[in-house]
Structure 1
Amino acid sequence: MLDSIKVRQASFRAALLPDRSECPVRRRILSCVSLVCAGALLAGCATGDGEADATSEVITSIPSFADVDVSPTPRDLTGEINLALNSEEPEPVTDNPTQKLPVTLKDNQGTRVTVKTADRILALDQYGTLAQITYELGLGDALVGRDLSTQFSQAKDLPLVTHNGHELNGEAILDLSPDLIITDTSLGPWDVVEQVRDAGVPVVVVDSTRNLDNTADLINQVASALGVRDAGKALAQRTADEIAAVRAVIDRKAPTAVQDKLRTVFLYVRGQSGVYYMFGQDSGADALISATGAYDVSKEIGWKGMKPLNDEGLVAAQPDTIVMMTKGLESAGGVDGLLERYPSLANTPAGEHRRFITMPDSQILSFGPRSADVLNALAVAMYAPESL
C-alpha cells in the first residue's frame, strides 16, 4: 500500500506546491472560514501555540488542589498568573495495544473511510490533543510528524507539518508518506486535506468540538480509526475518572454560594490580527469555567458562542477574573495593552485587580487526556495563588 500511495502522492505535489506559493491570501481566507465551527476560530488566525515568551513568570510547578489552603475571600485576590502544565510524559494505557485492522468507519463528516494500516500516523489538530491521545493509546511509536501544538517530550523532535502557525503544509505531509491521517476542522487550509486524501492517504476527520462532555467520545473516535477500541475504552475511562476526582475536590473546596463565586469570562485575543472575542455559552470555555467552580457570566448576560468583545459586554459581565491564552494576552500588549484598548475593563473588578489567569494556547481548551491537570491548575490559581 505504501508504494501505491507514494506514486499517487507524487502526482499531487505539483498541485499542492502552486497552491501554497501563489495563493497565501486564499489560504488565510480558507483557514478563517472555519470560524463557523466551535473552536475553529482558533485555527486560521493564530500564529503560534502559546509556548513563546510570556509577559510574566511562567509557573509550571503546580500543586494538587487537594493539598492547598484556599483563600477565604478569592474575589479580593489580585495579580496576574501565567500557568503552564509541565512537559510530563504521557502515560499510555497499554504498551502493546491489540490493533484490529482493516477497519471501515464513517467519520465525523459522514465520509466512509477504510483504514488498512496504521504504521505511519499523523494526528493533527489545533491543540495537539489528537497526537496526545494517539500516544496514550499506546501507538506513539507510529507517529511520524506533528503539528505545532504537539509539545510533549516524546514528540517534540518529530518533523513539523504545519507552518505559519497552524497552516497545514501539504508537501511536508506527503514527504512523510503517512498511511493514516487523523484530524479535525480546526486546521486549514482544507484544500490541502482534500488533496492529500486524493493522493491516496486515508483521512479520518473527528469531532472538532472541544468540551468536557465529549472528551470520551473524542478518544473513542481516535481509537476506532486506529483499530484499538479496547484501549480507547480504557483511556476514556481513565480520563473520566481523573476529571471526576479533580471536580470532586473543587466542589468540596471552592465557594458554593453564588455571591461568593468568581465571576469569570474567557477572552480570546489575537492583537496583531485585531481579533478580540469573548467566549460564551456553548463555546467550551463556559464548561471549563463552570468546572472550576467559578461563575460563568456568559449565561447571565446572554452571551452565546464566540462574539467580538465590546465595552457593553465587559460592563455587563463585571468579571472578577479573566481567563485567557498566554499568547493572546501577549499579543494585546499584556494587561496594560488590553486595558488601553478597552478602558471599560479598568472599571471591572478583574481590571482593577489585574486578575488575569493565562495558560498556553495548546493546553487550556484542549479537552483531552490532560483535562484534569488543566482544571487543577486553574483551580489553584483561582483560589490558592499563594501556593504557586
Structure 2
Amino acid sequence: MTGVCAEARTALQVNEYRDRVAALLPAMPVRQTRVIDCLGLVLAEDVTAPISLPPFDNSAMDGYAVRSVDVVGATVDEPVVLPVAADLPAGAGDLQVLQPGTAHRIMTGAPLPPGADAVVQVELTDGGTEQVRIDGSVPPGTHVRRTGEDVVAGSVVLTAGTVLRSGHLGLAAAVGATALPVRRRPRVLLLSTGSELVPPGEPLGPGQIYESNGMLLAAAVTEAGAEPIPLHFVPDDVARFRETLADHLADADLLVTSGGVSMGAYEVVKDALTDQGVEFVKVAMQPGGPQGCGRYQGVPVVTLPGNPVSTALSFEVFVRPVLLAAMGFTDVARPTARASLTAAMRSPKGKQQFRRGHYDPAAGTAVPVGGPGSHLLASFAASNCLIVVPPDVTEVAEGDEVEVILIS
C-alpha cells in the first residue's frame, strides 16, 4: 500500500489533468454551413426571419373558401348551395376575388382568396365542383391560418447558443435560410500504435490482437459531433510513427493517439513525442493512469493509454469535453445521478476509480458490470454508466449511495 500512496502523491488529480487538456484546443472558427450539415452543432449568432410564417393567409383544411355571412344558418336540413367559381390548389398564385354568394374550392395550404374570411371543411359539404351544398355555418376565421401567426418577419427565430436539432433546421429552411453560422466540427487525427495489432478480418498470428481502438475512437469522435480522421495503426517504431503523422498533421485540429505511453520498453508515442512539446504524466485514476498532452509541431495532442477500456474511458473523461467546448457547447459534462450500489466494490487508495455499471433510474440502483480491469471491453460495451469512487474511498458497501456518470 505504501507504493500506491507514493504514486498517488506524485500523480495529477483527474480535475487537474482535465484542466490541462481543456486548455489545449481553442474554440473552432464560425463558418456559414449548409443547413443540412448543421445537425447537432451550436448556433453562433442569432437568426432573424426575413419573412413571416405563414407568409400569407392560407387554408388549414381541404374545403371551400367562403364569406361567412353567405353560410349563416346552413344546416343539414336547410343547406346553403353556392356556385364554385374557382379551384385553389396549394401553390396557387393568381387569385380571383371571391364574389358574394360564391365559393372557391380550396386545398390545405392554398392562399385564401381576397374577400374570403373562412373555410368550410369538405366534411360539411357534398364535395361539389360546379356548385357545392354546405351543411353547416362557420364563423369568420374558421380554418384560416393568418399571416405571421407562427413567425413575424424581422423577429429572432433561433438564438445563439442553440444546439441545432431537426426542428430548428426545419424552421431555418421554412424562413428561407440555406446556411447557418456555426462553429465547425474539430478535425481529430487518430493514430493507434502497437506491433501486436492486426486489422479486423485478417488471420491472427501468435501474440497478435485485432486493432479496435481506432474504431472505438472514430465512433466516439463522431458521437461527440467532431470529424474523425483515422490513420492506419503503426507498429512500435518511432520513425514510422513520425512519418505517418507528417502528411496529416496540417489537416488536424487535434491529434489523439492510443498506446505507447506507459513505463515499458516499447512505448513508441512517449519515445517519439518526449521533448517535442508533449508532457507525459500519471493521473490518479483507474483505469487510465498513464496520460500525455501538449503540442506537437503546433498541433494539440492528447495521448491515451492503449488498453481498450483505458482508451475509451480516457476519451470520455478528458477528450470529449474538449471537443464539445470547441464547438461552442456550454454544458460539456455528461449528466450524473445518485444511485444505490447493488454490490460491494473495492478501489485503490488515492485513485479515482471509474467502474463500469448499469444504472436503473426507476429503481435508483447501479449494478457493477465486470471487474476493474482495463481490458474488459465487453463490460464497457454492456454499461450505461460509470460508477465513480473518489480517491479517498477504498471500499464501497452494498447499498451505499454513489455518483454515476450516464454515458448512454
TM-score, normalization: structure 1? 0.29
- Structure showing the higher helix proportion among its residues: 1
In terms of Rg, which structure is larger?
2
- If asked which structure has higher relative contact order (CA below 8 Å, sep 6+), I would say 1
